Structure 1
Amino acid sequence: MEEANIQRFPVLRSVYGGLTKSERRIADYIANHAGIVMEQTVADLAAQTESSEITISRFCKKLGCSGLKELKVMLAARLSTAPQKDFHDIASGDGGSDVASKIFANISEGLQDTLSLLDYEALDRAAAMVLAANRVYVFGFGNSATVCADMETRFLRLGLAIRAESDSHMQVTEAALMTEGDVVIAVSHSGATKELLQSVRAAKKAGAGIIVITSHGRSLLAEEADICLCGMGREVQYTSEAGASRLIHMAIGDVLYTRIAMQERSVFRGNMEKMRKEIGKKRQF
């Protein structure tokens, strides 16, 4: 696989981890020959990728397309945009300036990729679900736990009953005791963490609504979601696996927070005024 070419197509990158071997072969071919694919039929694509027409159809559906025709429209929109910059990986001889510029560039481009990938109707449905919830729980581990903590801090300002939890035992205990009207926001770069899947499945069984923020839209975790918000960064060597994605998932949380605040303007303003007043008192000591 030519990684740099896959990087150019967010929709391919978002599902790549959940594809079968034959489907990955199709994704690789499309990423490396996007212009040629625009002129091919389903039979042509099947022949070039040593797969069947049924596999091509299944692959298109995994990308959220009804068929090859719709996939071509998606590819055309991507190809018609400004020329894509190359993926900026870090080499062992890079200096501080090189490292900083590459990391910043990948985060910036990852945000733009996510902007083109986000389902905005799903985002508004998620905002409505959170706003109507009795209690909100934000579950995640590792780097994703920092996203959860940030969301807890932000959403508290809206007066929501929210709790971030990164301990697996506490997660599954809370999940088992949830009821209808509760909501879980599960954050995971890979969407494959077993402990998180157990907690989410327990919460779903108890009747809670499930919102997933992940980098892999076809992951096991995404399949458990009522609403899935997908966004990913362009990961580089020498950084943690989900370094860029962590910031991008945090940005998705910020958009979700803002959409809720827009619907509860008076509550938001009142809470912010109360917070500023109390913080102002602390400065007097």
Structure 2
Amino acid sequence: MNSCNFWELLRSRYSELTRSGRRVADYLTRHAEEAQYLSISSLAAECGVAEATIFRFCRSLGFDGYNEMKISLAQANAIPTAAGADKLEPGADTATLCTHASAVALEAINGTRSVLNPEAIDAAATLLQRARQVFCFGQGGSQILANDIWARFATVSTKFRTAGDSHMQTIAASLMVPEDVVLFISYSGSTRDMMETLRIVKGNGAKVILLTHYADAPGTALADVVLLCGAKESPLDGGSIAAKIAVLFVAEVLVLRFTLDNQELAAIARERTSKALAPKLL
């Protein structure tokens, strides 16, 4: 990674940039804070250039790719906290931290509510109802969320599944059939392992529901249904609780839709699972 300060680097290389490269540089200068949350597709659209131009711009500054450039930009902006929240002072007391965390959580939920399409939830729930098996996948921190979502659905149906790391997910994907569905959790929607797994899933004719933040993420091209979460996450704050809250909010809406559409079966299943778990409590 280039160790120079992003703005110093941009100033020193500005005269060497192409006309389209300068257009990107000018946009970043004017919209520094917002730009750190944009996908490469979104930044290209805002600048009126091709994605390849953004990539060449990053390489001209000495970065290996877009994500490395975005991290450097975020470091230069020095905003480690969630978007829209007041920056915390080092001496802030715990009561202030509680207020801050509450504001961030509410912002994540409200932001998600504003971008979540009810019709997409309905379409996703229909896929779940018709599926032979539903696999809840994710990678890294998103895999933990996928497991949480699987556990929630597992109380009402045995057709929900999960898998281990990306290797095990690839194995599961290779054995899927058209009646299967994958619910994939990926905030960025643009990881290599995710794309590889989804290509195998689609190659077998199975359906894909993608839960992500970016409507223009590469993974959306392989999804039958896209569910959006609205929490913004800085490149310096990966795995933030706010983003997790946003993802789980979407998942809870999907669970509610699924169970309400299958009220009788869901009620019987929850009665049985609750009865089975009761002896395990002290």
Scaled by the length of structure 2, what TM-score is found? 0.70
1:236/1:23 Cα in 2 relative to 1: closer, same or farther (>3 Å)? closer
Unaligned runs of 5+ in 1: 8-12, 27-50, 52-84
Aligned match for 2:256, one of 255, 258, 262: 258
Compare 237-246 and 249-258 and name the one that shifted more. 237-246
Is residue 98 of structure 1 aligned with residue 120 of structure 2? no
Distance 1:156 1:216, change over 3 A: same
* Counterpart residue number, 1:127: 125
Alpha-carbon distance change, 22 to 129 in structure 1, aligned in 2, over 3 angstroms: closer
Residues 130 and 20 (structure 1), Cα distance of their counterparts in 2 relative to 1, 3 Å cut: closer
String of CA shifts for 1:105-143, please: whole Å, max 9, x gaps.
122112111111111101101001011100011110122
Equivalent residue letter for 2:211: I
Tell me the SS of whatever aligns to 2:211.
Answer: strand
For residues 44 and 153 of structure 2, the distance between their equivalents in structure 1, rounded to whole angstroms, comes to 43
Task: Show the 5 A alignment for 1:191-206.
Answer: 191-206=189-204
2:174 alignment partner AA: A
Task: Using the TM superposition, give the Cα deviation of residue 91 of structure 1 relative to its aligned residue in structure 2, in angstroms.
Answer: 4.4
> After superposition, where does 1:72-111 map in structure 2 within 5 Å?
86-111=84-109
Which of these residues, 145, 152, 155, is aligned with residue 154 of structure 1? 152
Q: 1:23 aligns with which of 45, 48, 61?
A: 45
Residue of structure 2 in register with 1:212 after alignment: 210
User: Cα offset for 1:221?
Assistant: 1.1
User: Within 5 A, what are the aligned runs for 1:63-74?
Assistant: none
**3-state DSSP class of the match of 2:193?**
helix
For structure 2, which runs of at least 5 residues remain unmatched after alignment? 1-29, 50-82
Distance 1:116 1:3, change over 3 A: farther
Contact 1:90 1:236 in 2 (8 A): no
Give the Å deviation of 1:25: 3.7
* SS of residue paired to 2:269: helix
Tell me the distance in 1 between the aligned counterparts of 2:236 and 2:94: 13
Deviation at 1:192, TM superposition (A): 1.2
How far the C-alpha of 1:211 sits from its partner, in A, is: 0.2
Residue 277 of structure 1 aligns to which amino acid in structure 2? K
Output the CA distance in 1 between the equivalents of 2:98 and 2:47: 34
Q: Which amino acid aligns with 1:174?
A: A
Amino acid at match of 1:281: P
- Across the two proteins, how many residue pairs are aligned to each other? 220
Q: State the percentage of identical aligned residues.
A: 25
